[in-house]
Structure 1
Amino acid sequence: MNRVFYRQGLMAFFLLTMTLLMAGCGQSDKAEELYFEGKTMGTTYHIKVFAESSKVAGVDLHPEIKQVLKDVNQSMSTYIPDSEINQFNQLPAGQVMPISADFRNVVAESIRLGESTKTLDVTMGPLIDLWGFGPDKKPTKRPSDEALAAMVAKIGVDKLELTDAGLMKTIDGLELSFSATAKGYGIDKVAQVIESHGFTNYMVEIGGELRVSGIKPNNITWKIAIEQPDAEPGVRKVHKVIEPGTNGIATSGDYRIFYEMDGVTYSHLIDPVTGMPSRHDLVSVTVLHPSAMTADGLATAITVMGMEKAQKYAEEHDLPVYLIGKSDNGLVTYSSPAFKPYL
């Protein structure tokens, strides 16, 4: 399992606080369901497409779906020796590398989100490893301030240059890790395959991240459950059910992946500016966006901000965002104005 999707899989499959409410799906005589499942990016995928029987006769989407997911993995997995991302990570500073359209799309959106939020950084893989949330075991002691400062100085999307000719790093040793955007991009690519065949009613899920479109049979809308973040360990409870319409859906939080050391709890969500794990009152963030990749990246970035900054960012950018925070009196919630229509 590669490091890129290992991290992302943990954040999404265990932390992404969503479960599909598929009960009461209801079938009409004219509707037919196409269902596909498999493994990709170190996790699993499940896909449902609904269409009239006459339109799905003889249609086999799965080979195309498997191919686009294979292509995304080949481009963005750090555990495939000759992957596109590994080729870039091994380059010295100042050398421009021509890149594929898929790689360009993910890099461009990752840079945009990094510059906008200041809390999403696709170059911070080594910093995450330093805190023990990568594939290596957790550290036996807290990284020193000097080590953190040195690491922060070596990362940042400002050290990437994306041009028509390709991508270049301006500092030696800079590495990319699309842990917060690549899986969502895979979902978007699968959605493109589905829509290219004229289907508009579907659900694509990879490791807990989602994109839904249209409706289910009998005009039933898609309903998605946000998980209760303070449920007992091993127990999954529904916090709230939403109707996301046609959107990508991503949830991030800091309540399942953490460790304690010297009496201090360290979250897996790291602030790339300070180099420190986030320690604040925000425990769960759900974001809706037409692009699953963008929703994926924003959910991670907004979680790192904390409740107050997250609310401000969501309102300034008119984003559909649902926040769950903790207080002395229990959980508190916030729905951005753009999110309220989906409740």
Structure 2
Amino acid sequence: MMIRVINWLAPLGLAFLLAACRPADDIAAQLHLTGNTMGTYYSVKVVGAGDSQAEVLQAEIDRRLELVNDQMSTYREHSELSRFNQYRGEAPFKVSSDTAKVVTAALQLGRDSNDALDVTVGPLVNLWGFGPDARPTHIPSAEQLAEIKAETGLAHLSVITKADGDYLQKSLPGLYVDLSSIAKGFGVDVVSEYLSEQGLTNHLVEIGGEVRTSGLNAHGQDWRIAVEKPGQGESMVQQVVALANTSVATSGDYRNYYELDGKRISHTINPATGKPITHRLASVTVIHPSCMMADALATALTVMGTDEALAYAEQNGLAVYLLTKTDDGFRVDMSSAFEKYLRG
């Protein structure tokens, strides 16, 4: 998680000083709601809402996020997705329209990115010790890798829409779908869209570092978001961006890794090889109108590596900010579409 919302009175240099020039009576009322979801936290800031609305808004936000968990969590045994993963048949398996929407988006991005995003690689993640299984004591053998890899692949997953609803279908009995690379962003979108439906169009929604902004902040300005510099110690701001009516998500592999047989083992798996990535791209930040897509794109671009990710971003008009590890720090690359968001 490398996205941080810049709060009023946060001592973050120029971004704070510019905001501080506004008169105090220009500051609008703001309601701040927090809670837990999807194994992490959420933070919602609603401009123009008062304490009298807090209980109703929080209850509805919690209800909608609980529904997303009941649909797409792999940690809940009886969620839609868990039941589909346990299902061994090849007949279509009925799911909610939300689950079908998220899987459809994952399949589309998978195809567009040459399978850089593959929501079926969960067994490979487990093999390398980043799931519920214990970490391996040695690098998995080619035979182990081939056996597990044969149980993955987007080609074995499809979404079917019928008159009576939406269905998922698998052509491999053991196919396992994990939407952790996209569902958090979808949850952000769900909350943001609910607030807009209530006429609360100036707000910011964050779930575990994935952020969607709408309208303006309490000072009547674009929302300021800090991209953190990769590192193991105290977090430092790498770049500040100003956002309105769009989303931002960051993916990186610099924290979640371990050493095995003298090699660095990243938690990010390349679906093409079935192995952890080995390139030096440490952090990918994506700005996109949909937080669901920003979330998924950040993962896909991390898999690609710096050069391919930057080329893909330019080809598709994506706003992307990349930090690549060098021998003496980090190199910054960004797509041309990202530059308009820079602040400080």
State the TM-score, normalized to the length of structure 1. Answer: 0.90
Distance 1:172 1:248, change over 3 A: same
1:90 is the counterpart of 2:89: no
| Structure 2 alignment gaps of length 5 or more | 10-18
In the alignment, which residue of structure 2 is the partner of 1:11?
A: none
C-alpha separation in 2, matches of 1:94 and 1:238: 49
Aligned counterparts of 1:163 and 1:181: Cα–Cα separation in 2 = 20
After the TM superposition, which segments of 4 or more aligned residues of structure 1 sit over 6 Å from their partners?
none
Q: Describe the SS at the equivalent of 1:121.
A: coil
Which structure 2 residues correspond to residues 1-343 of structure 1 after superposition, within 5 A? 16-24=1-9, 28=25, 31-51=28-48, 58=53, 60-117=56-113, 118-165=115-162, 166-229=167-230, 231=231, 233-343=232-342
Cα displacement (A) at 1:196 = 0.6
Paired residue secondary structure (1:215): coil
Cα distance change, pair 30–299 in 1 and its aligned pair in 2 (3 A): closer
SS class of match (1:86): helix
Unaligned 5+ residue runs, structure 1?
1-15
Offset, 1:57: 6.0
> Which letter maps to 1:109?
A
Compared with structure 1, are the counterparts of its residues 308 and 29 closer, same or farther at alpha carbon in structure 2 (3 Å cutoff)? Answer: closer
Q: In the aligned structure 2, how far is the partner of 1:240 from the partner of 1:78?
A: 34
- How many angstroms apart in 2 are the aligned matches of 1:28 and 1:193? 29
Query: Aligned-pair distance for 1:47?
Result: 0.5
Can you list the C-alpha shifts for 1:142-190, whole angstroms capped at 9, x where unaligned?
A: 1111111222221111111211131110111001111101111111100
CA distance in 2, matches of 1:155, 1:58: 46
Deviates more, 1:172-181 or 1:327-336: 327-336
Provide the secondary structure at the position in 1 that maps to 2:95.
coil
1:256-311 alpha-carbon deviations (Å, 9 max, x no partner): 11000111111111001100100112111000111111100100110111111011
Distance in 1 separating the partners of 2:282 and 2:341: 21
Determine helix, strand or coil for the equivalent of 1:187.
helix
Number of aligned residues? 324
- Partners of 1:28 and 1:217 within 8 A in 2: no
User: RMSD of aligned C-alpha atoms?
Assistant: 1.7
Counterparts in 2 of 1:83 and 1:52: CA distance versus 1, 3 Å: closer
1:218 deviates by 2.9
Whole-angstrom distance in 2 between the partners of 1:130 and 1:94: 25
Q: Give % identity.
A: 44
Do 1:283 and 1:325's aligned partners in 2 also have CA atoms closer than 8 Å? Answer: yes
Other-structure match for 1:5:
none
Could you tell me whether the CA contact under 8 Å between 2:120 and 2:178 is conserved in 1? Answer: yes
1:329 CA drift (Å) = 4.5
Residues 58 and 211 of structure 1: CA distance in aligned 2, closer, same or farther (over 3 Å): closer
Q: Please give the alpha-carbon distance, in whole angstroms, between the structure 2 residues aligned to 1:161 and 1:309.
A: 27
Amino acid of the residue matched to residue 17 of structure 1? M
Letter in 2 for 1:112: Q
CA distance in 2, matches of 1:62, 1:186: 14
What's the TM-score, normalizing by structure 2?
0.90
Work out the CA distance in 2 between the residues paired with 1:306 and 1:29.
Answer: 44
Q: In the alignment, residue 36 of structure 1 is paired with which amino acid?
A: L
CA distance in 2, matches of 1:198, 1:158: 42
- CA shift digits 1:295-340 (9 cap, x unpaired): 0010011011111101111011110000011223532111101111
